[in-house]
């Protein structure tokens, strides 16, 4: 092993002692100057430290208060006061089966989206207010207000309520759900598990866009509709329904609706995109219902029947495996006036194939309005036929 001074000349070695002395002396002078210059600061710091320790209980560490502000906290601050609790109150039955008192049947959340004069408007889920005899809204500050139902829509699971606006200071700002990107951060605000957890906040990301979730609306174990929803991993629990899903700007981009509750599934929450909800909200606010076109028929899927009945009862050609069976035609309905009959099988609307009842409804609701004409392709007794039908509103049937 060598040394760092190995190989020095004799001249350098001989002058080493005087060199070290001069360097050391210079260091002492510089160090003394630094001490003199910083002494007032050191004394001042020590005095401060002593005053803190004198006011601090012995053996306890000093507490530090932090004022943390992030994009998330700012978004929550902007949106949270517009999210409310909704209590569904229904009549309870006594032992003899007669009505006795009213009681809370369930709770959910809602979003105040508008204030017009002395009235505030709230959007929530249809299933939150379903079968309610009374509705009560709890504001973010705990104030309770009786609510009136303007209208609800089972197909999109949306409803609109009104309350007095006297105690309402903030309304939500709607964003653009069409502009969302997968992986974008989002925040769910609502009342999971009841009003005891009011104003709860969970954070996640947009996990998926345009998810189609089959929905059985009448409990007959047959899917009646496909809800088009956003998927998020922000925690959504019972009571969050009807609450806000907001983006990092604090804008509402979804109305929380449901979660997939299976033992093998975690972190799949679903929210109605605000762009889908807006026209529904406008119709419910204006008419108390959604103005949808109707044919005046009851329908059933062809693929629910055994192949024997498809060919022997309906007389369908062997290559026709999909379509919609007309089970009943209402008197004086558009379908009756267009000549449709029981057991006719609709296979296309305006030339676009119709595989099942959900596809028929989606085409009608997304592309047609009251008073529009639709061209219907159908099979009767094994022969393909066509007819034109002038649609009416569902409420007019």
Q: Is 206 exposed, middle or buried (0-12, 13-18, 19+ CB in 10 A)?
A: buried
Say whether 300 sits in a helix, a strand or coil: strand
> Which residues are designated catalytic?
127, 157, 241
Cα separation, 186 vs 184, in Å, equals: 7
Cα separation, 42 vs 180, in Å, equals: 55
Return the bridge partners of 189, or none: 201, 244
Distances (CA, A) of 283 to 67, 111, 257: 44, 17, 19
Within 8 A by CB and 6+ apart from 381, the residues are: 315
Inter-residue contact 334 to 392 (CB < 8 Å): yes
Cα separation, 368 vs 361, in Å, equals: 10
Cα separation, 86 vs 191, in Å, equals: 9
DSSP H helices in 107-167: 126-129
Q: What share of the chain is helix, strand, coil (3-state, %, to 5)?
A: 25, 35, 35
């Amino acid at each position: 092993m060598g040394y760092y001074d190995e190989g020095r000349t004799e001249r350098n070695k001989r002058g080493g002692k005087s060199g070290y002395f001069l360097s050391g002396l210079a260091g002492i002078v510089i160090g003394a100057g630094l001490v003199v210059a910083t002494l007032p600061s050191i004394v001042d710091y020590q005095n401060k430290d002593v005053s803190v320790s004198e006011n601090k209980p012995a053996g306890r560490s000093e507490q530090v208060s932090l004022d943390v502000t992030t994009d998330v906290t700012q978004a929550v601050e902007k949106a949270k006061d517009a999210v409310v609790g909704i209590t569904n109150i229904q009549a309870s039955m006594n032992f003899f089966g007669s009505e006795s008192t009213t009681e809370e049947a369930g709770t959910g959340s809602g979003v105040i989206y508008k204030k017009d004069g002395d009235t505030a408007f709230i959007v929530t889920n249809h299933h939150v207010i379903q079968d309610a005899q009374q509705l009560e809204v709890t504001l973010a500050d705990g104030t309770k207000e009786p609510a009136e139902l303007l209208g609800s829509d089972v197909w999109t699971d949306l409803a609109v309520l009104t309350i007095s606006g006297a105690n309402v200071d903030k309304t939500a700002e709607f964003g653009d759900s069409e502009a969302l990107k997968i992986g974008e951060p989002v925040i769910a605000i609502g009342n999971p598990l009841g009003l005891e957890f009011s104003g709860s906040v969970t954070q996640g990301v947009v996990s998926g866009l345009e998810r189609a979730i089959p929905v059985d609306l009448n409990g007959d174990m047959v899917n009646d509709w496909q809800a088009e929803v956003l998927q998020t991993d922000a925690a959504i629990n019972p009571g969050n329904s009807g609450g806000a899903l907001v983006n990092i700007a604090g804008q509402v981009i979804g109305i929380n609706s449901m979660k997939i509750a299976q033992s093998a599934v975690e972190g799949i929450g679903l929210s109605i995109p605000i762009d889908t909800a807006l026209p529904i909200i406008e119709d419910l606010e204006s008419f108390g219902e959604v103005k949808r076109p109707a044919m005046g028929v009851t329908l059933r899927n062809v693929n629910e029947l055994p192949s024997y009945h498809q060919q022997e009862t309906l007389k369908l050609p062997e290559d026709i495996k999909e379509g919609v069976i007309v089970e009943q035609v209402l008197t004086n309905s558009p379908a009756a006036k267009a000549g449709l009959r029981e057991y006719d099988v609709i296979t296309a609307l305006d030339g676009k194939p119709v595989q099942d009842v959900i596809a028929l409804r989606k085409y009608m609701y997304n592309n047609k309005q009251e008073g529009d004409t639709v061209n219907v392709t159908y099979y009767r007794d094994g022969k393909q036929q066509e007819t034109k039908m002038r649609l009416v509103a569902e409420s007019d049937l």
